[in-house]
Amino acid sequence: MEATCRQALRVGLRAVAFTEHADFAFRVHADMRPLDVQAYLLEIERCRALFPALRIVSGVELGEPHRHAMETAEVLRAGPLDRVLGSVHCFSWRGREIDASQLKEVPAAETPAAVRAYLAEALALVTSPQPFAALAHLDYYKRYWPHRELTYDEGEFEAELRAILRELSRRGSALEVNTTRGAPAERGLCPGARVLGWWAEEGGRAISFGSDAHEPAFIAAGFREAAQLAEAAGFRANDDPAGHWLR
């Protein structure tokens, strides 16, 4: 976290948010460990003391909180968190729970059906009572779509994506534009320009930006392009460097 703060200042950021993962699908990811909220918050405070010129926002990315209500409540009770994201990584497919990163194991012809199962899970999340301020990487699965074998067309999933965006707007949450560490837009911009346009049409008022950096070198990677797309969709920055962009 300290190295990430140094890099954030190096690239000219005035604020950075550490939305640490809190995932509970231990059957899917055997190497996963519970989030130690207290240790995390101590490190946040240490970095705030080291870098007074940088606004450092605490936060958490909840994985499938609608499936893990008790574990989610425990994390949120453990300490004050400035920003709470909701996300879907795992979904049910052919009688087992898989992560979207495992789409590469699904035959290409079945990928659209698997994606619809993922999107059904995302709809269940946004219609649940679970508290979160922004929906992270709406089309996370796009990173693992078999692009060489099958052309990805967002229009094929327009009805499902719009339904999610509509419910997200109704609950007053923001939509995250995730740049996947600066990966090519085809695979890494989650979502891209077309879905951002749908978000505006469905009444969406706010977006956030996340680089999903995971290591210091990638902090804010791809933000320039993401900001251009956000502006084209009618969103604008506000005076708070850690605030959502608004319409």
Q: How confident is the model at residue 100 (pLDDT cuts 50, 70, 90)?
A: very high
Q: How many CB atoms lie within 10 A of CB 29?
A: 15
DSSP per-residue codes, 178-192: E-GGG--HHHH-BS-
Residue 83: pLDDT band (50, 70, 90) is very high
Banded pLDDT at 25 (limits 50, 70, 90): confident
- Domain residue limits, the chain: 2-246
Residue 191, preceding peptide bond in cis (omega within 30° of 0): yes
**DSSP H helical ranges for the chain:** 2-10, 37-50, 69-77, 111-126, 158-170, 185-188, 193-201, 223-232
Interval 161-179: pLDDT, tens: 999 999 999 999 999 999 9
pLDDT at 32: 79
Cα 115 from chain centroid (whole Å): 17
Question: What's 2-246's CATH class?
Answer: alpha beta
3-state secondary structure of 105: helix
Mean per-residue pLDDT of the chain = 96
Edge to edge, the sheet with strand 55-63 lists: 15-22, 55-63, 83-87, 134-135, 174-178, 206-210, 245-246
**What band does 28 get if pLDDT is binned at 50, 70 and 90?**
confident
Per-residue pLDDT at 5 exceeds 80: yes
pLDDT digits (tens, 9 = 90+) for 35-47: 999 999 999 999 9
Model pLDDT, residue 116? 98
Count of positions (residues) in the chain: 247
What does the pLDDT average to over 134-154? 96
pLDDT at residue 31, as a whole number: 76
